[in-house]
Chains A and B, each alone.
Chain A
Amino acid sequence: MARCHRMQEQLTAWIDGELSPRRAERVRTHLATCPCCAVEAESLRAAVAWQRDALTRVVAVEPFNATPLRVQVQRMLADVDALPVEREWRWWLTPAVLASAAVAVGFSLLLWVAGGPETVLVPLGVESPPPAVSRQPDLFRDYTLIQHLDALENFDTVEAVPLDDDQAQRG
């Protein structure tokens, strides 16, 4: 068994032809009498042969020609460059832009319905009121009341005034 172990350590060198003739002869003799080491040697020889074949193929590969691939990548990049054109007309579809547009349209409609920017901006304090309003805010705040001050001051008296149709009803 110890002999087999020593022989198996030399198998790779034997397969590669790196042993001295004397040692190689010893290995050959052992393999002829030991089926176990013979199987091991055959397996190792097959593995070495496969590695040599693979190495030969790798070395035999021609230099890689990247030009066709580069051309293809450049074409793809050109297509990608063309994509933003599609995005440009879609940017306004984003919710934030749509919401801003809706607010702008709504505000414009509000201004239009209210009777102009002044009607909205003055109450909000953005613009100053007309001088007459600024001087007499009470007058224009209580305008309806002041407009009918006579009637409201004499509300009970006016309420007591008989109308002709009241008299007709009594009659």
Chain B
Amino acid sequence: MAITGRSAVGLPLFAQNWRDLSPKERYDALQNYRQHEQLPEDRQRDIEKRYERWQGMSPDERNRVRQNYERFRQLPPGERERFQRKYDKWRRQGDAPQ
């Protein structure tokens, strides 16, 4: 799946409550939830595992991931596609965490 969608950069590190989110963030979250619901169960579980990993990260680690996401977003479209291909190859090589 291509890395597309809404930016998560610049948001507070921890949203303690649904009410803490802005209307735009709520709208995006609702859309993401609907997208999540459409996924097969194994894909949903996979994302929930990543979410657990995300929750276990320190603020510095999260910040680094957010910065990388911003770097990805700033890539030209052709470079994004190349990054996706590199990521697919990296996964095929078996280097990706399970």
Binding site for B on A (CB under 8 A): 118-119, 122-125, 129-130, 132-134, 136-155, 157-159, 161, 163
**Chain A residues positioned under 8 Å from B54 (CB to CB):** 138, 142, 145-146, 149
Q: Smallest Cβ distance from B8 to chain A, in angstroms?
A: 4
List 22 A-B pairs, Cβ < 8 Å: A122-B26, A132-B33, A137-B18, A138-B14, A138-B54, A141-B28, A141-B29, A143-B47, A144-B5, A144-B6, A144-B69, A147-B1, A148-B1, A149-B50, A149-B53, A150-B91, A150-B96, A152-B65, A152-B72, A154-B90, A159-B83, A161-B89
Could you list 15 further interchain pairs (A-B, Cβ under 8 angstroms) beyond the known A139-B51, A141-B21?
A122-B26, A125-B26, A130-B33, A132-B33, A137-B17, A137-B18, A138-B15, A140-B33, A143-B5, A143-B8, A143-B32, A155-B72, A157-B95, A159-B86, A161-B86
Chain B: interface residue total (CB-CB under 8 A): 53
Question: Which of the residues B29, B66, B89 comes within 8 Å of A140, measured between beta carbons?
Answer: B29
Chain A interface main SS type: helix
